[in-house]
Amino acid sequence: MKMDQSHTIGAAKDLEPELMLELINQAQSAYRHAYVPYSHYPVGAAVLFSSGKIYSGCNVENASYGLTICAERNAIFNAVTQGERQLMGIAIAVPTEEYPSPCGACRQVVREFAVDCPVILINGSGKTRVTNLKKLLPDSFGPEFL
């Protein structure tokens, strides 16, 4: 794991190094299963929930583009089907040299299950950038507002 320290901020310090490495490994593994015949842009995600379990997901495209699901939401929804509710961290991996960035819909779904959490971004060289949800989605709207 090559950590880009210039982009590491507080939230990741709450995750044990072993958990961070496992999230990264599972996210990298997940993109290998992506179904991306249209964009050819595989993405993998792994999410850690308060139970200590990690769930993974990949993007799955559809000829009717609006039915495509992103890796992040796929992983989170997988966890929710197992009764999980409190997201503790997420890793997102791609095989390209650019770092991934979660789309707005994925940021909002992460927010549904965490007010803030580490977000680990992994490029194809295995380099990582760590940020957090509050930085990616400032002044967010969550379930506590309803």
Q: Quote the tokens at residue 91.
A: 């890793």
Residue of 18, 22, 61, 72 with catalytic role:
72
Domains identified in the chain, total number: 1
Domain assignment present for residue 146? The answer is: no
Domain assignment present for residue 22? The answer is: yes
For 95-125, how does the pLDDT look when each residue is reduced to its tens digit (9 = 90+)?
999 999 999 999 999 999 999 999 999 999 9
Secondary structure of residue 136 in the 3-state scheme: helix
Domain extent at residue 35: 2-134
Per-residue pLDDT, 1: 45
Asked about 72 being catalytic, the answer comes back as yes
Distance of CA 27 to the CA centre of its chain: 8
Complete edge-to-edge strand list for the sheet that includes strand 127-132: 2-3, 127-132, 118-122, 87-93, 44-49, 54-58
For 42-94, how does the pLDDT look when each residue is reduced to its tens digit (9 = 90+)?
999 999 999 999 999 999 999 999 999 999 999 999 999 999 999 999 999 99
Q: In this structure, what CATH number is given to the domain that contains residue 31?
A: 3.40.140.10
Residue 14's pLDDT band, with cuts at 50, 70 and 90, is: confident
